[in-house]
Amino acid sequence: CSKKNLVISRSVATTHKPNTTTTMAPNYTFEGDPKHRVSGPGFDRTLYSLAVGAGVGTFFGACNAAWYPDPISTATSSSLLRNVGRMVTRPAMWCALAAGTFTGTECVMEMIRNEKQDAWNSLVAGMAGGSVVGLINGRPQIIAATAIGTGIFMAALDLSGPKTVFDEKALDVKRNGFLPEVHVESAALASLKEKFPQHKDL
């Protein structure tokens, strides 16, 4: 019976593999590739982007209202709240629209191109999101320039990925928590381990 239990425990230990996929946010998965790919239903991704954009815009509007050059002074508190609400709601709406347009366009491009993910999707989605940002000004030349500039920037970001540093191993350690192949302890740390051997494995 003990032999049988030992064999079963060994087989379970060798066949069980921990799940290495880490979920950072809804439908945003990292599967070991530093240049991660976003997966999940397009509707959920778009809603998530809308919420994130609205949050960023709300924070920007709140900061803008707090440090506004001319203090908001009115006779009644209700009008004061309306003025502050306008200053917060406008950037929240535009940021949410820009983020939602970018993600929605990217999802549509993936659907049209049979789930293919590359810089072309980012280019088109960046142009769509940039055109929404340009609509704040309303001038056609500003809209066109913002769309082209944002599209090129997002495509370049997709092509380069996060590894834009000289020491990629140090970046892996910073992002994923992996130790480098050769780890050298400092003299101060070695002396502390000798002084306190009970804590050398910390």
pLDDT at 105: 92
- Output the pLDDT for position 144: 93
> What are the per-10-residue average pLDDT scores of the chain (202 residues)?
42 43 42 54 86 92 78 58 82 92 91 85 92 89 93 87 69 72 78 85 72
Q: What is the pLDDT of residue 54?
A: 92
This prediction has a pTM of 0.58
According to the model, what pLDDT value does residue 145 have?
A: 94
In sequence order, the 6+-apart residues with CB closer than 8 A to the CB of 29 are: 21, 22, 23, 36, 38, 39, 40
Q: What's the pLDDT at 102?
A: 93
What type of residue is 181? E
3-state secondary structure of 25: strand
Q: CA-CA distance, 155 to 121, in Å (whole number)? A: 8
Going through 69-180 in order, the beta strands assigned E by DSSP cover: none
Q: What angle do CA 92, 150, 132 make, to 5 degrees?
A: 40
Alpha carbon distance 46, 96 (integer Å):
10
Q: Rounded to whole angstroms, what are the CA distances from 201 to 14, 194, 196, 197?
A: 26, 11, 10, 8
The answer to whether the CB of 126 falls within 8 A of the CB of 152 is yes
Measured at the CA of 186, the angle between CA 185 and CA 192, to 5 degrees, comes to 95
